[in-house]
Structure 1
Amino acid sequence: MPFIAAGRSPRVLVLGAGVTGLVAATVLTGRGAAVTVRFRPEAASRASHFAGGMLAPWCEAADASALVAERGAAAIGWWREHFPGTCRAGSLVLAPPRDQAELHRFARRTTAHETLDTEGVAALEPDLAGRFRQGLFFAGEAHLDPRAALAALAADLPARGVVLREGEADEAEQEGFDHVLDCRGHAAAPDWPSLRGVRGEMLVLRCPEVALRRPVRLLHPRIPLYVVPRGEGVFMVGATMVESSDRRAVTARAAMELLNAAYALHPAFAEAEILEAGSNIRPALPDNLPQLRAEGRVLRLNGMYRHGFLLSPWLAQRAAALVLDGADPEGGTA
């Protein structure tokens, strides 16, 4: 750990302004560090620009480590404190009649939910009345608009004394800091050989004929779908995960699968406007869990996979403890 004179705040350089970088900068400055954020100006280059924004720790536990639910549950309170647009209306999980086995499997693998019948589904989401026999309601979960949330964090940082600089940080600039937090996502793969890319694709649709208050997951054996309301008849539709670092545009196959699944949720989506089709690369490690790796004064925070908004507060607090206290609360020192 670098020597820091008594009474002086540690100087920290954060590389990256995706969800990991901005949350880390917010947590660090909240604990008294002097923070500078270096970032590429193109927002669309960041995986979090295309995120669903679901704060769904218990739903995610269906196909992820129990650590995701254990560490991610606290993120709901963190985001509600730092972004007033966070909506805690729960999550609804559904399956077409032919795929009821998928719903039962999901229920067995998760907790913190209640089972709904047809009337219960209709009471939560009137526009889905009569369309599904059963559902699972995770009342404690939340969601947010990722782009609005990150814009709010970035806008608040200068008032906290954080310096925001566009461009890459060269070696000479990095030498002026006590610590460097590398939060560059998949761009950091050359420095972390086990980091891989997982391609995700999404659509943004406008469909005023459908009103949903909360994220809805539609289970399917091949491609589960999620539909997240953004307000004013706009929805984000996603779920594809492809083991690839290919950054090309959304494929025709992915677009058709997402649109077909949206139609299965509600036929009105057949007439929706396609406002946007986007894709990007999620950074993932072999176990699909994020890691914090200390290399001298450089801390690497990476491997968020599909849990960036859910697990970034937990990882940022670990990094802040290393920088300011000299010890990781989950083990290890710097």
Structure 2
Amino acid sequence: MTLRATVVGGGVAGLCTATELASRGVAVTLVDREKRPGPHACSWWAGGMLAPFCEGETAEEPVVRLGQAAAGWWEGQGVPVTRAGTLVVTLGRDRQELDRFARRTHGHCTLDRAGLAELEPDLDDRFDRALFFSEEAHLDPRRALGHLRDRLPALGVQFRTGKTDAHGPVFDCRGLAARDALPDLRGVKGEMLVLHAPDLRLGRPVRLLHPRWPFYVVPRGDGVYMLGATQIESGERVRPTVRSALELLSAAYALHPAFGEAEILEIGVDARPAFPDNLPRLRQQGEVIHVNGLFRHGFLMAPALARMAADLLCNNVRPELMNEDHG
């Protein structure tokens, strides 16, 4: 007998879960208020960094370990992934930040000025030391979301908008909207900018460490860069602030003055869903299994949670990141 399941939510968690279930022969109905991924989804505004080792600075061990499989999963779905690593730099006055970052992470080597210039010639003479995480990768989130959405019909997934009768277990992947069922879920506001800086050529994500506003820039191609990201304890999802924009732009200019001549293409804001310990998990409430709490690790951890969801339904394997709600 064919297994059936309903996935609610068409962001990165929902699309990954539907993909993993359908690839194992489950008849999936995906329910979302919109027909396609777009600005309504938190994952639309993501950086797309598949950087488990860098995230280890603050993230728990499962994020580092499980996140290492993310790039391969996305490539397996046909999503273009750039495996160029991550550079981490700091301004001269903040050199201790680089030492601290190195102590808290692994999977990196230290570059001198010449080594950094060889990887990123446009950063020549701007920094004399960097950490290079060679095994990390990045992707274009919007392209990845669109690709998953477009290949789901070939896997037999049915799409519905609005309310619909559930078929089989329900996998609730609504992100912050699931606070109506998950009272300990909180919002962490993030703001980002998309700039066009045609005179600058960066081939990989670069993180600039700063005691007050850690910053990263991710190349999107054709001189387009995503700048992120603020991290504010708030569920507010629509109002970018002048302070955050100024901090991001100041950090970009500190990284390279060419950003001073860049064109601002977009300013985005949304709130990431997070549990108190910032670890994602599956949580079961009766016939509903919540896939949530991705925090700032959406594209990094959604594949792992999707595999756990499919293992639970198809093989009755209790996921590593799961708890039950008996309330």
CA distance in 1: counterparts of 2:321 and 2:131, whole angstroms: 37
CA distance in 2: counterparts of 1:40 and 1:261, whole angstroms: 36
Structure-1 residue corresponding to 2:159: 164
CA distance in 1: counterparts of 2:293 and 2:321, whole angstroms: 19
CA distance in 1: counterparts of 2:285 and 2:251, whole angstroms: 44
Classify the secondary structure of the residue corresponding to 1:45.
coil
Against the structure 1 CA distance between its residues 97 and 162, is the aligned structure 2 distance closer, same or farther, given a 3 Å change threshold?
same
Structure 2 residue 258 is the aligned partner of structure 1 residue 268: yes
Structure-2 residue corresponding to 1:35: 28
| Residue 325 of structure 1, CA deviation | 1.4
Against the structure 1 CA distance between its residues 47 and 99, is the aligned structure 2 distance closer, same or farther, given a 3 Å change threshold?
same
1:168-317 residue pairs with structure 2 within 5 A? 169-170=163-164, 173-174=165-166, 177-317=167-307
CA distance in 1: counterparts of 2:2 and 2:279, whole angstroms: 31
Structure-2 residue corresponding to 1:10: 3
| Residue 333 of structure 1, CA deviation | 10
| Residue 166 of structure 1, CA deviation | 2.3
Structure 2 residue 47 is the aligned partner of structure 1 residue 52: yes
> Which amino acid in the other structure matches residue 154 of structure 2?
A
CA distance in 2: counterparts of 1:125 and 1:319, whole angstroms: 40
CA distance in 1: counterparts of 2:242 and 2:41, whole angstroms: 22
CA distance in 1: counterparts of 2:177 and 2:210, whole angstroms: 32
CA distance in 1: counterparts of 2:75 and 2:97, whole angstroms: 32
> Which amino acid in the other structure matches residue 11 of structure 1?
R
> Which amino acid in the other structure matches residue 15 of structure 1?
V
**Conserved? CA contact 1:10–1:179, under 8 Å:** no
TM-score (norm 1): 0.94
Structure-2 residue corresponding to 1:3: none
Structure-2 residue corresponding to 1:130: 125
Structure-2 residue corresponding to 1:20: 13
CA deviation string 1:109-159 (max 9, x = no partner): 000100000111100000000100100000000000000000000000001
Classify the secondary structure of the residue corresponding to 1:309.
helix
| Residue 331 of structure 1, CA deviation | 8.2
CA distance in 2: counterparts of 1:319 and 1:129, whole angstroms: 46
CA deviation string 1:286-327 (max 9, x = no partner): 000001011222110110000011111111111111111122
Structure 2 residue 318 is the aligned partner of structure 1 residue 328: yes
Coordinate RMSD, CA, aligned = 1.4
Runs of 4+ in 1 over 2 A off after TM superposition: 329-334
Structure-2 residue corresponding to 1:139: 134
CA deviation string 1:91-114 (max 9, x = no partner): 000001011100000000000100
CA distance in 2: counterparts of 1:333 and 1:260, whole angstroms: 42
CA distance in 1: counterparts of 2:222 and 2:28, whole angstroms: 37
Classify the secondary structure of the residue corresponding to 1:68.
helix
| Residue 45 of structure 1, CA deviation | 1.6
Structure-2 residue corresponding to 1:112: 107
Classify the secondary structure of the residue corresponding to 1:214.
coil
CA deviation string 1:245-286 (max 9, x = no partner): 112321100110000000000001001000000100100000
CA deviation string 1:215-271 (max 9, x = no partner): 000000011100000000000000200000112321100110000000000001001
> Which amino acid in the other structure matches residue 32 of structure 2?
F
CA distance in 1: counterparts of 2:277 and 2:89, whole angstroms: 27
1:143-158 residue pairs with structure 2 within 5 A? 143-158=138-153
Match of 1:67 among 50, 62, 69: 62
> Which amino acid in the other structure matches residue 85 of structure 1?
P
1:86-97 residue pairs with structure 2 within 5 A? 86-97=81-92
Match of 1:79 among 74, 78, 92: 74
Against the structure 1 CA distance between its residues 84 and 303, is the aligned structure 2 distance closer, same or farther, given a 3 Å change threshold?
closer
Moved more, 83-92 or 204-213: 83-92
Classify the secondary structure of the residue corresponding to 2:268.
strand
**Conserved? CA contact 1:326–1:333, under 8 Å:** no
> Which amino acid in the other structure matches residue 14 of structure 2?
G
CA deviation string 1:1-23 (max 9, x = no partner): xxxxxxx2111110001000000
